[in-house]
């Protein structure tokens, strides 16, 4: 009897989703923004993190709702979220949220 490799992977993937030890991404930090026109700032923070050998990513749409970004981080089990708003961009600061 043959189960099929696709079925085996589907079962393993489902088990992995329920295991808190298994993450679906290597990303440690999601760089998010509150407001529009902050893509350059998000990418700058990502670049700084990458240079420090920290796995970071950002979503590439120009204007995103904070809830969508937060949901993305939670769904992908990303432990840290850096939020950048207009005030933070002017002050060259960020806000860090730990999941």
Which domain does 31 fall in, by range? 21-98
pLDDT at residue 13, rounded to an integer: 77
Query: Is residue 8 in some structural domain?
Result: no
Query: Is residue 94 in some structural domain?
Result: yes
pLDDT tens digits, one per residue of 30-79: 999 998 889 999 999 999 999 999 999 999 888 889 999 999 999 888 99
Residue 27's domain is classified under what CATH number? Answer: 3.40.50.800
Higher per-residue pLDDT: 11 or 46: 46
The structure tokens 């806000």 sit at 95
- 31 and 78 Cβ atoms separated by less than 8 Å: no
Query: Is residue 73 in some structural domain?
Result: yes
pLDDT at residue 22, rounded to an integer: 63
How many whole angstroms separate alpha carbon 3 and alpha carbon 7? Answer: 7
- Give how many domains the chain has, as a whole number: 1
How many whole angstroms separate alpha carbon 50 and alpha carbon 89? Answer: 19
Query: Is residue 52 in some structural domain?
Result: yes
Residue 23 pLDDT level (bands cut at 50, 70, 90) = low
């Amino acid at each position: 009897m043959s189960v099929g490799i696709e079925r085996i992977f589907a079962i393993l993937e489902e088990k992995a989703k329920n295991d808190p030890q298994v993450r679906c991404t290597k990303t440690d930090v999601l760089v998010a923004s509150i407001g529009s026109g902050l893509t350059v700032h998000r990418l700058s923070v990502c670049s700084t993190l990458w240079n420090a050998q920290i796995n970071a990513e950002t979503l590439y749409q120009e204007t995103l709702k904070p809830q969508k970004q937060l949901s993305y981080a939670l769904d992908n089990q990303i432990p840290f979220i850096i939020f950048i708003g207009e005030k933070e961009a002017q002050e060259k600061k960020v806000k860090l949220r730990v999941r």
